[in-house]
């Protein structure tokens, strides 16, 4: 990497995963739209074909006339090839296939346990974590060997345990996890200002928020626009739309149907706890036991959706076909900003302008009341070659208690995953608020789920 | 009170409550059997008739030939009369009637929530706490006014919140809570030594235990007999009796049927967490959500009992009749040691011999990892006019997490009760692991339960 | 205050103190050089004449052709007049006169205690704090009454206790303390890069530092330029100049003679503790007992200076004469950036661009290992109407111990000052590392110093 | 070891050190006076001749008609021989000779630093610690190898660092440190009751105290006799005898002259801090910098003594001569209770009766506000095969700060000793409140002291 004033050349990025496409193309666009940056992106995916298609698409995107940075994409065969010389490592993988994910999400339904996503906490998130931990152990060791000074950006879920595993294995790693869920809440606050105050055109990054918690169960205890406190307004907003929910008038898009909500869970949580729950309702609900996930009817009442794996499979086919068309030239390529912050973060870390945003990193004190070293999500200042979390303060006692039980479970899951320990795994599994079933059923359920995913659990003794 | 060498004369004890009889008679017997003590017991109960009957019974007991201490029992009409001049205050009340308790225990069954006792945590324990808090506020203020130097022994449940309220209102109070649940586990360990090692005749106080946690969810991480570690043996014991449960051969007694268990919950918890859960299975189960309380069948499987309020009502009639007979002289009075430690504790605090036992008092550091000032149960040294908790150390992470969520709920419940705050009450109510139902149902349930008990909730606005 | 896009109009600033001139003129210049800002500055000083002179000078400065913001200066007679309607409050006062300061600095010399400044810790700083506390109690109450929403910037020493008192009296105050000592160390690091690497022209704000500690005893455990770690270079630098000291070639200026040093104390502390002590040597030395202040010869050896009060008095006359000439028009007025950050901070808080800089505010967790609520100095993000400290992490154990004893002393001094408690005052006084004398002498010394300053100690009983 | 009811037979005790005699003879007497115990004491000392003399004396003592326990004393040649099979290990050694101790105590006098004992903190205590650490590393490893289940009682100074080293090297060690300084303060409180209230004949163990702090800088914040608070009385006592000091009328004995004091330091500390400093004045003074140790005149004013090493050398000769006479039969042997608690502690750990007393063990929470694992002195319950510290609570803020700086220094000293690190050693050395001299002098002094003791500092690079 070479820095010439405000231009960075020969930057080297390792992209691990990305075969699932959406994320990768967004990043490619964002890179192409950054005049200050140029370099090479090495694509590594266990699905080599997917990596090769992305190579083709990336190299085409960079040739578009509106493309500003010069980038070369190169699919590689090994993790080592991707990592050697990397300045940045981006990780966005799927642990296992959608078949394993189907087990994560749907097996618990036999016991009346519904999960809207199944990739963070709950029985599904926990089993997914057990799959992801050995993969991240391997990645962490490779980073330690091949690019210990690189910055590592994680997008994989479960975010907390992916990031936590990297630090556990290689404590000096310069890694952080990124998630756009808080952004969506900032957008909601902007929509609120339009709805209640007629102030339109506000960008989500003009809404200033103090973020506390853990990924997908983050909270906002201060929010301001133009220096004014937004919490009293949010109370009004939550009360106004509590019953009906709030939906922004917008073009319907198939992609949104399973991810959208009417924010009723968020409103209910606000009215209960007095601060803003800051993630999508689908994610929030999974941390709250059966409160919003009692039954399919319950979920419909709260106006959010379960995300069936069948949809993910269909969507994957659509993306593959789209990828095919893009590779074949049947679909014109377009540069379009992703709205994600990945490239802004890279620029900040390269010294091209500080950025304050929310990231997932180990707790050095930014979350008072949380154990040190657990991975938390708060704002941080990203500046040249450094991330410094802000001191976010402390959650209200009742919210803190809700969050801390998940932190405890995640730490136990980490140890279970590192040591292939079924007993520890069950401590975490049975303590999840969604696993509110008899302990015998819980044992059976966990065993079934582990067996369904056993291919990805090397070293485990599974009966 | 006058101390003559090892004899204490003119000791004054205020007994608040006790109309429910069993506890009172046990204490009366224990006092009568203590040659070192004599004095007056002032009996105050809102059921004045009950107090008067106890007065008669107490005075008769003291006349029995085998009685050694000289005691005078006196029913009084006001709290003030009971407390003025008291050296010790014993509190053992029932907040509300069995009708309110029936609501505590049985209303949640409509939503599939079963409670084996309903007086500690869970929806029932929490509503009971709301009833008890204003009563204890009043008692604490009276103690502050009339006998601030007295030692206060609490037997009422919910133990933690009764004791906590006393300290919140009058921080200098010299109060502690006592409970015999740990004793029963020490007896079980003695039975284990008989069963596995053939060592018989061990008294439960010869089993040395380190106690950690909160009342009815206490744990033992070290247990010794004759200096030998009992945990490896307990593992063997738990495995041996895991399936069938362990029942000591003993005379069947009606009183035991609802209180007994086969310890299967305890064995399961031990095999899951590696340390000994130290309370009756009925109590332990209530802290663990649906794990052992999924359904009546589940409960039968785990071999413990729900305690229906109908039984309590019948038992009460039996006790009233017995009381009648004792007052009328139709039933001969007998002195019989209660097996409780109350009088031993009184003696220790009077300087007649140190005692190390488990008590419930505010945390000054004895429970590492727990918030200061929350009421915890650990061992303490009782010596003349002083209780000093021992540093009990820290629970294993997963157990700590299970216990801390209840500590947080109890603190919230206290604030809800002190401020008659429905919103705070619902934070605690909905966070209880047993309230694993939709948030709408939870709201309905709490509202119904509050209304059922509203006579005992002065100052609350209940829709 | 009116915000028009990026222009702020009708801003109202209360300037409390400032009669000592230097600081006030710098701020006036900085305001005049800020095209985005205009408004009114209300000047309040107990020396009304000084305020009136500053009014004249300020209004003249704003008329200079190169002046960009439109400002009106107005001397007022009461604190209330200054504060009513204020958006910002700037406090820069001298507690007592130079006679009291002479006692602070020189009385301890009778006992062999030398102080290089005498305004922060040590016997002088502590007695100064006792004078300043009642004044800040009064200011805090006035802010609470007249402008509770205003931002308050404190420049008075002792910085920590001034800021701490504001928060103690009015916990919602939006106050922070500013100090340029860390800037000087950033400049030293820039000089180091020139000296060792030939890289010149680096601005001090291009040196990125992580700041930890308390005012005048701050430390830097990470420092970077262009993303590169500067600590290894600083080690080289400290070793190279350890013996001779480092002095930048620059025009000699009388003002610098007492404030300058050759950084030998800093180098010695670095070689002892491995991180950078980040304040002037005169300040650092006072926190370290006799290590660098054993005798005048010792001080000369370490190449820094004691600052005699006689010099301050002479300097004050020079400034008064200069003020006279400026008022009379005998000395031409010039606008000249002060190098201070006050106006940058005001702009950031007005929403004109975030700023990361070091400030003194209560600890909400930014300094791990320090008591909550104690005032600490770390970096913070200043943004619109908000200051968010960054999580600075933790000092090495030995440095932490050195700093924490001063934190403890400051908390005791605060209580002593608030309650006029001589016994508490002596606990703090005698625990200062500089007061390394017999306890009898220490009592005599404190008593003499208190009597010397008794006019400023209302409510104290001083024998 | 065999337990027969209340009799313990074939107990095996390893006595490490003891060549300095006084301690050893006391223990031998106490053992002989214990009818419940019998067994073997293996004596190991690097001065083999001393061990052999003790063997002879011990075996003679056990033959005295009034001797009740049957003991066999056996001098052994290796640590291993002493430890193999041991149930208890008693360690009471002198690290180095009196020549090294002379350097510890007297070398600092060149710089005006006076030490009344020189074996705990201060420059002397710290250098002594560096000698003792490698010896205790060796002992800890031997215990781990040869008797890992044995209870280890340490009497060597510096108590804290000896005990701390054992736990650092072998965390499972069952070790504790014992010191009689608190007992002396309990005796003083008994004398106070005689002096002020005419209550005589009170045994020191009837005075109940809550002990907080570290060895030789312990504090008592609650003290009671017969359930009554003694602190108000102690205030009266301290004021009455503040000027003249308090001396009990007793037979003069040469042994006491250097160890005695008039308690003026204790009284002064009480009047300053409101709680009782609980060690001899000679020890307390050394923790307080120059407060009571400014000069020999100062020390005389406070009515305590420096303990010159010349006296220790002479005393040693006296003890050797006495030993000689005892071995030769020229001096009749007598059994006389030592007043120490060692044998009581042994009995308690053998299950012959609980004992609550003050011991030095790692902090598991018994000292709130102190770092975990640092060795602290509080009360503990000694029972069969277990020591459980009581939760002692927290020191007042100002006292806590005074004590914590020594805790920090001790931790640094430990690391310096374990890693032979001169730089770390100087951090601790220079931070000691007594080392209140210029940093250059401090370096010279430490270097000289290290060289004087270099024979006992294997692995150190000392210029």
Long-range contacts of B268-273 (CB under 8 A, 24+ apart): B268/A439, B268/B242, B268/B292, B268/B302, B270/B234, B270/B235, B270/B238, B271/B235, B271/B238, B271/B239, B271/B242, B272/A423, B272/A426, B272/A427, B272/A430, B273/A427, B273/B396, B273/B398, B273/B399
Q: Can you list the positions of beta strands (E) in C31-100?
A: 37-44, 71-75, 88-92
CA-nearest residue of chain B to D386? B227
- The mean per-residue pLDDT over the stretch A382-406 comes to 97
- Is D406 noted as a catalytic residue in this protein? no
3.20.20.100, 3.90.1820.10, 3.40.718.10, 3.30.930.10: CATH of B98-117+178-307+339-463: 3.90.1820.10
Binding residues of D for substrate: 157
Query: Does B have 3 or more CB contacts under 8 Å with C?
Result: no
Residue A80 pLDDT greater than 70, yes or no: yes
C2-99+120-177 folds as: Rossmann fold (3.40.50)
Token output for D457: 């500092």
**Stretch A60-89: mean pLDDT:** 95
Give the DSSP H/E element, type plus range, for residue A399.
helix A397-419
B abuts D (3+ Cβ pairs < 8 Å): yes
* Burial of A344 (C-beta count, 10 Å sphere; 0-12/13-18/19+): middle
Residue in this structure with the two tokens 């400032």, named with its chain if needed: C18
Q: Is B437 exposed, middle or buried (0-12, 13-18, 19+ CB in 10 A)?
A: buried
Q: What are phi and psi of D432, to 5 degrees?
A: -70, 135
CB distance A354 to C354 below 8 Å: yes
Catalytic residue among D106, D180, D263, D406: D180
Percent with pLDDT over 90 in chain A: 84
A291 contacts in chain B (CB < 8 Å): 430, 438-439, 442
Domain over D2-96+122-177 is classified CATH 1.10.10.10? no
Sign, Cα dihedral of B9, B10, B16, B21: positive
Mutation test of the interface with chain C: which of D126, D272, D438, choosing the one with the most C Cβ atoms within 10 A?
A: D438
* Segments making up each domain of chain A, as ranges: 2-103+115-178, 104-114+179-307+339-463
A235, A400, A413, A439, best to mutate vs chain B, most B CBs in 10 Å:
A439
B404/A409 CB distance under 8 A: no
Cα–Cα distances in Å, from C234 out to C182, C211, C215?
Answer: 15, 16, 22
DSSP B114-163: --SS-SSSHHHHHHHHHHHHHHHHHHHHHHHHH-TTSEEEE--SSHHHHH
Closest CA to B379 of B186, B125, B90: B186
Q: For residue C104, give Cα distances in angstroms to C99, C100, D117.
A: 9, 6, 36
Mean pLDDT, range B299-306, rounded to an integer: 91
Q: Do chains C and A touch (3 or more CB pairs under 8 A)?
A: yes
Q: Is the pLDDT assigned to residue D197 strictly greater than 90? A: yes
Per-residue confidence (pLDDT) for residue A134, from 0 to 100: 98
Q: Is B179 annotated as a binding residue?
A: yes
How would you classify the pairing of strands D375-383 and D386-389? antiparallel
Mutation test of the interface with chain B: which of A373, A438, A441, A444, choosing the one with the most B Cβ atoms within 10 A?
A438
Looking at the predicted structure, is the pLDDT value of residue A271 above 80? yes
| Mean pLDDT for the stretch of residues B166-179 | 97
- Following CA atoms A321, A323, A324, A328 in sequence, which dihedral angle do they give, to the nearest 10 degrees? 140
Nearest neighbour of C291 by CB, restricted to D290, D400, D439: D439
Average pLDDT, rounded, for chain A: 94
Dihedral sign for Cα D158, D163, D165, D168, please. negative
Please state the rounded mean pLDDT for residues D251-266. Answer: 71
Task: Tell me which residue of B380, B385, B379 sits closest to B349, measured CA to CA.
Answer: B385
Q: Is B154 marked within a binding site?
A: no
Mutate to test the interface with B, among D207, D226, D388, D393 (most CBs of B within 10 A): D388
Q: Please tell me the distance in Å from B227's CA to the nearest CA on chain A.
A: 30
- Alpha carbon distance C103, C126 (integer Å): 12
Do the beta carbons of residue D186 and residue D153 sit within 8 Å? no
What separation, in Å, do the N-terminal and C-terminal C-alpha atoms of chain A show?
Answer: 51
Q: Mapping DSSP to helix (H, G, I), strand (E, B) and coil, where does residue C247 land? A: coil
pLDDT of residue A254: 43
The 3-state DSSP class for residue B177 equals strand
Asked if residues B123 and B432 have their Cβ atoms less than 8 Å apart, the reply is yes
Tokens of B158: 């919910």
pLDDT at position B463 over 80: no
For tokens 């005393």, what's the residue?
D315
What is the average per-residue pLDDT within A272-297? 97
What pLDDT, in 10s, does the model give residues A45-55? 999 999 999 99
Q: What is the pLDDT of residues D210-238, one digit of tens each?
A: 999 999 999 999 999 999 999 999 999 99
* C393 Cα to chain A: minimum distance (Å): 6
Q: Verify whether the Cβ–Cβ distance A385 to C224 is below 8 Å.
A: yes
User: What pLDDT, in 10s, does the model give residues A405-428?
Assistant: 999 999 999 999 999 999 999 999
Task: Name which of D5, D149, D391 to mutate to probe chain B: the one with the most chain B Cβ atoms within 10 A of its Cβ.
Answer: D391
Distance from CA of D383 to the nearest CA of B (A): 9
Name which CATH class applies to A104-114+179-307+339-463: alpha beta
Read off the pLDDT band of B343 (50, 70, 90). Answer: very high
Contact between D214 and D160 (Cβ < 8 Å): yes
- Say what the pLDDT of residue C254 is: 43
Torsion of CA B112, B116, B121, B122, to 10 degrees: 0
Q: What is the mean pLDDT of residues B275-297?
A: 96
- Residue A334 pLDDT level (bands cut at 50, 70, 90): confident
Tell me the three state secondary structure of residue B314.
helix
Question: Closest Cα of chain C to D412: distance in Å?
Answer: 7
Rounded to the nearest angstrom, the minimum Cα separation between A4 and chain C is 12
On the question of pLDDT at D71 being above 70, the answer is: yes
In DSSP terms, C383 is beta-bridged to C386
| Interchain proximity A356–C381, CB inside 8 Å | yes
The verdict on domain A2-103+115-178 having CATH code 3.90.1820.10 is yes
A4 annotated among ligand-binding-site residues = no
Are 3 or more Cβ–Cβ pairs between A and B shorter than 8 Å?
A: yes
- Cβ distance D412 to C400 less than 8 Å, yes or no, reads no
Show residues of chain D in contact with B364, CB under 8 Å.
368, 391, 393-394
Residue D251 has pLDDT above 60, yes or no: no
Specify the CATH class of D97-121+178-307+339-463 in words. Answer: alpha beta
Three-state secondary structure call for residue A116:
coil
| Terminal Cα-to-Cα distance of chain C (whole angstroms) | 51
Name the pairing type of β-strands D88-92 and D7-17.
Answer: parallel
Contact at CB, A226 and C3, closer than 8 angstroms = yes
Distance CA B266, CA C193 (A): 67
Section B60-66 average pLDDT: 91
C100-119+178-307+339-463, CATH topology level: LDH C-terminal domain-like (3.90.1820)
> In terms of Cα–Cα distance, which of D174, D7, D351, D88 is closest to B224?
D351
- pLDDT at D79 exceeding the cut of 70: yes
> Could you tell me the sign of the dihedral formed by the alpha carbons of C193, C199, C203, C205, in that order?
negative
pLDDT at C426: 98
Residue A9 to residue A1: CA distance in whole angstroms:
6
Most distant CA pair in chain D, distance: 64
Residues of D in contact with C409 (CB under 8 A): 401
Tokens for B435, please give them: 């309230």
D370-412 per-position pLDDT tens digit: 999 999 999 999 999 999 999 999 999 999 999 999 999 999 9
Nearest-Cα residue of chain D relative to residue C437: D290
Q: Which residues contact B443 (CB under 8 A, 6 or more apart)?
A: B426
Q: Is the pLDDT of residue A88 over 90?
A: yes
Q: Which residues pair with D73 in a beta bridge?
A: D41
Q: Which of B81-90, C24-33, D80-89 is predicted with the least confidence, judged by mean pLDDT? A: C24-33
Catalytic residue among B106, B180, B263, B406: B180
Pull the structure tokens for residue D75: 């001098």
pLDDT at A248: 78
Write down which chains contact chain D via at least 3 CB pairs under 8 A. B, C
Q: Which of C298, C301, C430 sits opposite D291 (nearest CB)?
A: C430
Which pLDDT belongs to residue A255? 46
Residue-wise pLDDT tens digits, B426-441: 999 999 999 999 999 9
Which residues of chain C have a Cβ shorter than 8 Å from any chain D Cβ?
268, 272-273, 288-292, 294-295, 298, 301, 397-398, 400-402, 404-405, 408-409, 411-412, 423, 426-428, 430-431, 433, 436-442
Min Cα–Cα distance to chain B from A299, Å: 10
D135-148 residues labelled b (16+ CB within 10 A) or e (exposed): bbbebbebbbebbe
Q: Do D227 and B351 touch (CB under 8 A)?
A: yes
**Residues B280 and B261: beta-carbon distance below 8 Å:** yes
Long-range contact set of residues C225-232: C-beta below 8 Å, sequence gap at least 24: C225/C189, C225/C190, C225/C193, C225/C199, C226/A3, C226/A351, C226/A384, C227/A350, C227/A351, C227/A384, C227/A385, C227/A386, C228/A385, C230/C189, C230/C192, C230/C193, C231/C275, C231/C276
Percent share of chain C, pLDDT over 70: 97
| Alpha carbon distance D382, C174 (integer Å) | 53
pLDDT in tens, D104-131: 999 999 999 999 999 999 999 999 999 9
pLDDT at C255 over 50: no
Look up the ipTM and state it.
Answer: 0.94
With bands split at pLDDT 50, 70 and 90, how would you rate the model's confidence at A213?
A: very high
What number is the average pLDDT over the span B171-198? 96
User: Are C400 and C219 a contacting pair, CB within 8 Å?
Assistant: no
pLDDT-derived band at C322, boundaries 50, 70, 90: confident
Contact criterion met (CB < 8 Å) for D393 and B364: yes
Whether B440 and A402 lie within 8 Å, measured CB to CB: no
Q: Which of D210, D368, D384 sits opposite B226 (nearest CB)?
A: D384
Chains A–C, number of C-beta pairs less than 8 Å apart? 83
Q: Two tokens at C242?
A: 């350890």
Instruction: Spell out which residues of chain D touch residue C291, defining contact as CB-CB under 8 Å.
Output: 430, 438-439, 442
Pick the CATH number of B2-97+118-177 from 3.20.20.10, 3.40.50.300, 3.40.50.970, 3.40.50.720: 3.40.50.720
Q: Are C419 and C165 in contact (CB under 8 A)?
A: no
* Residues of chain C with C-beta less than 8 angstroms from the C-beta of A365: 365-368, 391-394
Distance between B206 CA and the closest CA of chain D, angstroms: 10
Q: Which tokens belong to C410?
A: 């400051």
């Amino acid at each position: 990497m070479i820095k010439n004033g405000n231009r960075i050349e020969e930057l080297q990025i390792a992209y691990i995963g990305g075969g699932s496409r959406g994320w990768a193309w967004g990043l490619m666009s964002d890179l192409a739209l950054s005049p200050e940056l140029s370099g090479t992106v090495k694509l590594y995916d266990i699905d080599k074909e997917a990596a090769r298609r992305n190579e083709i698409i990336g190299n085409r995107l960079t040739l578009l006339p509106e493309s500003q940075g010069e980038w070369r994409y190169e699919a590689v065969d090994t993790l080592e090839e991707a990592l050697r010389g990397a300045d940045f490592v981006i990780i966005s993988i799927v642990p296992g296939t959608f078949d394993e994910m189907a087990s994560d999400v749907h097996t618990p339904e036999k016991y009346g346990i519904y999960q809207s996503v199944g990739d963070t906490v709950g029985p599904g998130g926990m089993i997914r974590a057990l799959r992801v931990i050995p993969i991240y152990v391997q990645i962490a060791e490779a980073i330690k060997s091949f690019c210990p000074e690189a910055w590592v950006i994680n997008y994989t879920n479960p975010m907390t345990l992916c990031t936590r595993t990297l630090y556990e294995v290689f404590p000096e790693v310069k890694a952080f996890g990124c998630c756009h869920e808080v952004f969506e809440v900032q957008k909601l606050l902007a929509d609120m200002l339009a709805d209640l105050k007629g102030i339109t055109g506000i960008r989500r990054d003009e809404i200033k928020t103090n973020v506390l918690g853990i990924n997908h169960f983050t909270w906002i205890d201060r929010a301001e626009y133009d220096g004014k406190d937004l919490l009293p307004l949010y109370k009004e907003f939550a009360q106004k739309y509590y019953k009906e929910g709030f939906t922004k008038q917008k073009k319907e898009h198939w992609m949104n149907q399973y991810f959208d909500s009417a924010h009723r869970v968020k409103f209910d949580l606000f009215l209960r706890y007095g601060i803003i729950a800051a993630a999508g309702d689908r994610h929030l609900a999974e941390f709250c036991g059966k409160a919003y996930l009692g039954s399919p009817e319950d979920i419909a009442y709260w106006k959010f959706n379960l995300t069936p794996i069948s949809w993910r499979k269909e969507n994957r086919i659509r993306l593959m076909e789209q990828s095919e068309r893009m590779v074949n030239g049947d679909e014109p390529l377009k540069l379009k900003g992703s709205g994600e912050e990945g490239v802004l973060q890279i620029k900040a870390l390269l010294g091209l302008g500080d950025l304050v945003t929310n990231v997932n990193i180990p707790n050095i004190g930014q979350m008072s009341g949380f154990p040190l070293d657990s991975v938390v999500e708060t704002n941080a200042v990203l500046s040249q070659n450094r991330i410094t979390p802000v001191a976010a303060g402390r959650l209200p006692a009742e919210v803190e208690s809700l969050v801390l039980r998940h932190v405890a479970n995640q730490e136990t899951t980490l140890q279970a995953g590192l040591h292939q320990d079924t007993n520890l795994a069950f401590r975490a599994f049975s303590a999840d608020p969604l696993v509110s079933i008899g302990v015998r059923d819980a044992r059976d359920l966990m065993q079934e789920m582990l067996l369904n995913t056993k291919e990805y659990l090397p070293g485990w003794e599974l009966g």
